[in-house]
């Protein structure tokens, strides 16, 4: 065992020494490799074939200039990235993130997680990730379009339905996918529906892709609850974020009878004693692209108009994890839930945590949850519903078919339940019952490792 730990430590040390300025990538690699010893003990052939060294090295990294002209006529220059991490199981697949914090280390961490997540879905998908440090907040539609067109002009030469299939992530939703797809189509003079996922269902998208990540996270959490003899019904739920994943996690949790008490954005959080008003949330965030404070203002105004007491509170700059909750679903961004936050949640009786975002819990938070016996579902398992339905979108595009919402949702449910059960079965197999982190990492890894071994040293 300790010999294997030495091997893993050496791989981590080399990752850190090679790219010392990529802390999020180091964190993701450490977290995964920290759980693989027992699998490698059983499969020394993976170590001998250099699978670990290859797993942590992207197959290809593309970094490019994205020049565009803003509404004031000024030239802006952003950076574009696409990390084609691993194609053992299928074409590279993973989202694009547009956020000012984006850098190569963040895209590498997301790409690395994506490889294992996509493996867990059981679909034929490799892993990749991309994006830009472009900030869509406050930009006009015309600016977003010009930026997206410039971004795709370079990206288009690197992607394709058998090569690499991007989708959305933070800052990239239906509007951005539309502009990106339009430019790809124009540059290639071909209607290659399968080159991007997250498209509008009117022109090649899958029904239920918009809902898939949030719904999937809640379906996964529901299975976790079931294991503890619990359900969402009547439980207090805190959901961080107010974007695509948070909104549809709210919708599904409410449909299962939960009391979703709070959501957040990067400026603060709202607590709504009557439960989050989903239609108002969608109006404010999806339609108006406004701040969450606007949600609170509207709710307070409608309470005042109807003469009832105001049940909503906006806490600027506050910490959403201070609220007592039975179930916590972090759905905003990486490292948003710290060890101190985990301790507060544990003290307040949290029972299940499922990650809708990618790596939202710090390593200290994760350890604290596990030590306290909280059921903890890591992002690569719990949020795999988004990419899973992207895989279903690719299948529909390839067969020129279009499935109903109910058909897609039924397949999504099956996939999430299967991932949940695979995590638990793998954790049992390795003598760590209930350890979803170990189960997800080993199950995701071994399928990729077996395949890499079969394909030879490439």
Q: Are 219 and 385 in contact (CB under 8 A)?
A: yes
Q: Does 93 bind ligand 2IT (CB under 6 A)?
A: yes
Residues sharing a CB contact under 8 Å with residue 25, sequence separation 6 or more, in sequence order: 15, 19, 105, 106, 108, 109, 112
What's the half-sphere exposure (Cβ side, CA atoms, 13 Å) at 232?
Answer: 26
Q: Which of 129, 185, 285, 447 is catalytic?
A: 129
244 binds, among ligand NDP, ligand 2IT, none (CB under 5 to 8 A by kind): ligand NDP
Tell me the window of 19-27, 34-42, 89-97, 309-317 that interacts with ligand 2IT (CB under 6 A).
89-97
Secondary structure of 133-177 in the HEC alphabet? CCCCCCCCHHHHHHHHHHHHHHHHHHCECCCEEEECECCECHHHH
> What are the residues facing 330 on neighbouring strands?
240
171 binds, among ligand NDP, ligand 2IT, none (CB under 5 to 8 A by kind): ligand NDP
Alpha-carbon gap, residue 341 to 355, rounded angstroms: 14
Residue with tokens 């919708």: 251
Footprint of ligand 2IT on residues 98-137 (CB under 6 A)? 114, 117
Structure tokens at 374: 């909280």
In the complex with ligand 2IT, the residue whose CB is nearer, 87 or 351, is 87
Q: Does 243 bind ligand NDP (CB under 6 A)?
A: yes
Which x/- pattern over 180-219 shows residues binding ligand NDP (rule: CB under 6 A)? ---------------------------------x------
Note the helical H segments in 77-123.
104-121
> Site for ligand NDP (CB under 6 A): which residue of 331, 346, 374, 443?
331
In the complex with ligand 2IT, the residue whose CB is nearer, 283 or 413, is 413
Stretch (H or E) spanning 69: strand 60-69
User: Smallest distance from the beta carbon of 212 to ligand NDP, in angstroms?
Assistant: 7
User: Smallest distance from the beta carbon of 92 to ligand NDP, in angstroms?
Assistant: 16
> What are the residues facing 238 on neighbouring strands?
262, 328
Q: Does 167 bind ligand 2IT (CB under 6 A)?
A: yes
Stretch (H or E) spanning 71: none
331 binds, among ligand 2IT, ligand NDP, none (CB under 5 to 8 A by kind): ligand NDP
Tell me the window of 3-11, 132-140, 384-392, 414-422 that interacts with ligand 2IT (CB under 6 A).
384-392
Residue 12's closest CA among 31, 35, 37, 29?
Answer: 29
Q: Does 263 bind ligand 2IT (CB under 6 A)?
A: no
User: Smallest distance from the beta carbon of 311 to ligand NDP, in angstroms?
Assistant: 22
430 — phi, psi (to 5°)?
Answer: -100, 15
**Strand arrangement of the beta sheet that strand 375-377 belongs to:** 312-316, 268-272, 259-265, 236-240, 327-330, 352-354, 375-377
What torsion, rounded to 10 degrees, do the Cα atoms 353, 420, 432, 29 define? -70
Q: Does 169 bind ligand NDP (CB under 6 A)?
A: yes
Q: Does 24 bind ligand NDP (CB under 6 A)?
A: no
User: Smallest distance from the beta carbon of 431 to ligand NDP, in angstroms?
Assistant: 30
Footprint of ligand 2IT on residues 348-377 (CB under 6 A)? 358
Q: Does 95 bind ligand 2IT (CB under 6 A)?
A: yes
Structure tokens at 450: 């077996």
Q: Does 387 bind ligand 2IT (CB under 6 A)?
A: yes
Tell me the window of 20-28, 118-126, 352-360, 416-424 that interacts with ligand NDP (CB under 6 A).
352-360
- For the question of residue 129 being annotated catalytic, the response is yes
Structure tokens at 360: 């939202």
In the complex with ligand NDP, the residue whose CB is nearer, 267 or 283, is 267
Q: Helix or strand or coil: residue 181?
A: helix
Q: Does 396 bind ligand NDP (CB under 6 A)?
A: no
Binding site for ligand NDP (CB under 6 A): 168-171, 173, 213, 241-246, 265-267, 331-333, 336, 356-358, 383, 386
**Catalytic sites, residue numbers:** 129
Binding site for ligand 2IT (CB under 6 A): 93-95, 114, 117, 167, 169, 197, 358, 386-387, 390
């Amino acid at each position: 065992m300790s010999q294997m730990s030495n091997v893993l430590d050496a791989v981590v040390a080399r990752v850190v020494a090679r790219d010392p300025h990529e802390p999020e990538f180091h964190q993701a690699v450490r977290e995964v490799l920290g759980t693989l010893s027992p699998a490698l003990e059983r499969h020394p052939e993976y170590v001998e074939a250099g699978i670990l060294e290859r797993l942590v090295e992207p197959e290809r990294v593309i970094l490019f200039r994205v020049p565009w002209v803003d509404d004031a006529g000024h030239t802006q220059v952003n950076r574009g990235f696409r990390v084609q991490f691993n194609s053992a199981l299928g074409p590279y697949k993973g989202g694009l993130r547009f956020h000012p914090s984006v850098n190569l280390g963040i895209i590498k961490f997301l790409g690395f997680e994506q490889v294992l997540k996509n493996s867990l879905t059981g679909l034929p998908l490799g892993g990749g990730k991309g994006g830009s440090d472009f900030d869509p907040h406050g930009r006009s539609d015309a600016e977003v379009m010009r930026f997206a067109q410039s971004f795709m002009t370079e990206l288009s030469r690197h992607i394709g339905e058998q090569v690499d299939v991007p989708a959305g992530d933070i800052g990239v939703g239906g509007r951005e996918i539309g502009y990106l797809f339009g430019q790809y189509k124009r540059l290639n003079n071909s209607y290659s529906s399968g080159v991007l996922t997250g498209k509008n269902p009117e022109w090649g998208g899958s029904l239920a892709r918009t809902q898939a990540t949030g719904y999937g996270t809640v379906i996964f959490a529901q299975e976790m609850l079931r294991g503890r003899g619990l359900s969402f019904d009547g439980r207090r739920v805190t959901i961080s974020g107010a974007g695509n994943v948070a909104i549809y996690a709210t919708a599904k949790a409410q449909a299962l009878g939960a009391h979703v008490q709070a959501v957040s954005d990067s400026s603060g959080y709202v607590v709504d004693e009557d439960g989050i008003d989903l239609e108002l949330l969608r109006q404010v965030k999806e339609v108006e692209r406004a701040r969450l404070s606007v949600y609170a203002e509207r709710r307070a105004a409608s309470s005042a108009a109807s003469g009832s007491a105001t049940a909503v509170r906006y806490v600027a700059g506050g910490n959403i994890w201070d609220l007592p909750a039975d179930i916590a679903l972090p759905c905003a961004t990486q490292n948003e839930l710290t060890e101190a936050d985990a301790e507060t949640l544990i003290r307040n009786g949290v029972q299940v945590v499922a990650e809708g975002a990618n790596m939202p819990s710090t390593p200290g938070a994760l350890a604290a949850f596990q030590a306290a016996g909280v059921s903890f579902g890591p992002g690569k398992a719990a949020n795999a519903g988004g990419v899973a339905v992207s895989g279903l979108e690719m299948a529909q595009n390839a067969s020129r078919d279009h499935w109903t919402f109910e058909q897609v949702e039924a397949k999504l449910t099956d996939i999430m339940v299967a991932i949940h059960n695979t995590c638990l079965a793998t954790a049992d197999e390795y003598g760590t019952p209930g350890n979803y982190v170990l189960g997800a990492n080993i199950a995701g890894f071994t399928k990729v490792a077996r395949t890499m071994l079969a394909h030879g040293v490439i």
